[in-house]
Amino acid sequence: MQQAQGDLEGALKSYQDSLGIKGKLAKSDPGNVAWQGGLAASYGSIGEVQKAQGDLAGSRQSYNMVLPIMARLAKSNPSNVGWQGGLAEAYYKIGDVQVAQGDLAGALKSYQDSRAIIEPLVKSDPSNAGWQSGLAMTLSKLADVHMLSGDKARARDYLRQGRAIMARLTKLSPDNAQWKEDLAGFDAQIAELDRSAGQTRASGRPAKHK
């Protein structure tokens, strides 16, 4: 509620108070996966608020606390798609902070780690629209990093892969406003890259091919 109201300081304190309680519970019974998952969730919430406050170093530190917890849970039960998804999300969130910090190499690895987890989930359950959408958004993030790095060809490739996923989802559910918005976002980014490539060729400079 505080976060939704824009009271980030209040939200941070509430999440930290929650973390203090969950930390004691998790420490008292390390084998309790529910408490371990709750502890990771609290660190993640704190990291989200810190990022919104502009405290990127603090946010990255908080998300770095999420990662080993989710990695242990995912390793302890590979068939638990919830834990696998939580680990993928942790890498994704860290990647976002790394981009904001200008650490493109780190962000690229984080997004690739997230993708490596999500792709098997998609293959194991092709009907799961959540995994499909999550993979598309991860591909979009990979495209963003490559665009920032100047590798427009690879960025376009990731965008087209992500667009193909969102086009399928939108076709299955034409009334889903979020998916339509995501598809439009892919189209806009691809169009901008194509326009940029056309301007480069028109200027007489050879287009780079990767």
Q: How far apart are CA 143 and CA 83, in angstroms?
A: 26
User: DSSP 3-state assignment of 204?
Assistant: coil
Domain boundaries for CATH 1.20.58.80 within the chain: 125-202
- Which residue has 């997230």 as its token pair? 114
**What fold, for 125-202?**
Methane Monooxygenase Hydroxylase; Chain G, domain 1 (1.20.58)
CATH 1.25.40.10 fits 1-107, yes or no: yes
What number of CA atoms fall less than 13 Å from residue 207's CA on the CB side? 14
pTM of the model: 0.89
Q: Please, where in the chain does CATH 1.25.40.10 lie? A: 1-107
User: Which tens digit of pLDDT belongs to each residue from 73-125?
Assistant: 999 999 999 999 999 999 999 999 999 999 999 999 999 999 999 999 999 99
CA quadruple 153, 194, 131, 59: dihedral sign:
positive
Tens of pLDDT, residues 150-188: 999 999 999 999 999 999 999 999 999 999 999 999 999
